[in-house]
């Protein structure tokens, strides 16, 4: 994907923060996001360690089973993500009036041996609170993650989705390629 591919994506009225450069609460620096400043009440920014208290898990639970995750577990996982420099890029949409996280999505960068030791981005956990759907927020999150992937040197970005979500991802520039397979480990899944 070229930079031109990214610039053709549609924008909606959102702000991207530039205030957390070097913020120890943030997972990564916001300079990796495409700046969009305006007066909208919605803010796209990197995940912060205190987003546990802003409803992040509530949003994720609208996508999949979250389980019981304590604040301590979340903070430990956050530090693991942060310590894996240039690997985990989790972004959220915050409603600045309610101070609640109302959307999120993740990009994980895999370092490969093939393709000249290239990098592949994996998009996961695209979730928007049900009260905010239909406002193109998911597309905006995907746009930002694709932008980060290009900056990180990824030669492609991949994801898995349900059949009903294929049209959404096709509008965001994805195409069906190959087949996804999964092998679940019941003994591990039962502990989740």
Q: What domains, with CATH codes, occur in the chain?
A: 3-189 (3.40.630.30)
Give the separation between CA 152 and CA 144, rounded to whole angstroms: 12
DSSP 74: H
3-state secondary structure of 122: strand
- Look up the pTM and report it: 0.84
pLDDT of 124 higher than 90: yes
Q: What is the pLDDT of residue 119?
A: 98
Is the Cβ–Cβ distance between 176 and 62 less than 8 Å? Answer: no
What average pLDDT does range 136-163 have in this prediction? 96
Which candidate, 165, 152, 159, 164, places its Cα nearest to that of 180?
A: 159
Task: For residue 129, name the pLDDT band (cuts at 50, 70, 90).
Answer: very high
- Among the listed residues 144, 171, 132, the one whose alpha carbon sits nearest the alpha carbon of residue 15: 144
Confidence of residue 12 (pLDDT cuts 50, 70, 90): very low
The pLDDT mean for the chain works out to 87
């Amino acid at each position: 994907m070229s930079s031109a591919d990214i610039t053709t994506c549609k924008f909606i009225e959102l702000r991207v923060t530039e205030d957390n450069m070097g913020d120890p609460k943030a997972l990564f620096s916001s300079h990796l996001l495409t700046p969009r400043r305006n007066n909208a009440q919605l803010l796209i920014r990197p995940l912060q360690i205190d987003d546990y208290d802003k409803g992040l898990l509530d949003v994720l639970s609208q996508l999949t089973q979250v389980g019981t995750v304590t604040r301590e577990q979340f903070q430990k996982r956050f530090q693991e993500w942060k310590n894996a420099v240039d690997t985990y890029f989790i972004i959220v949409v915050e409603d600045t009036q309610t101070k609640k996280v109302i959307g999120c999505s993740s990009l994980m960068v895999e370092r490969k041996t093939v393709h000249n030791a290239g990098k592949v981005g994996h998009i996961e956990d695209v979730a928007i609170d049900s009260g905010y759907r239909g406002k193109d927020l998911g597309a905006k999150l995907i746009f930002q993650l694709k932008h980060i992937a290009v900056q990180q040197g990824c030669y492609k970005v991949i994801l898995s989705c349900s059949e009903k979500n294929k049209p959404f991802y096709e509008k965001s520039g994805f195409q069906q390629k190959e087949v996804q397979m999964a092998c679940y480990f019941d003994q591990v899944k039962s502990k989740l």
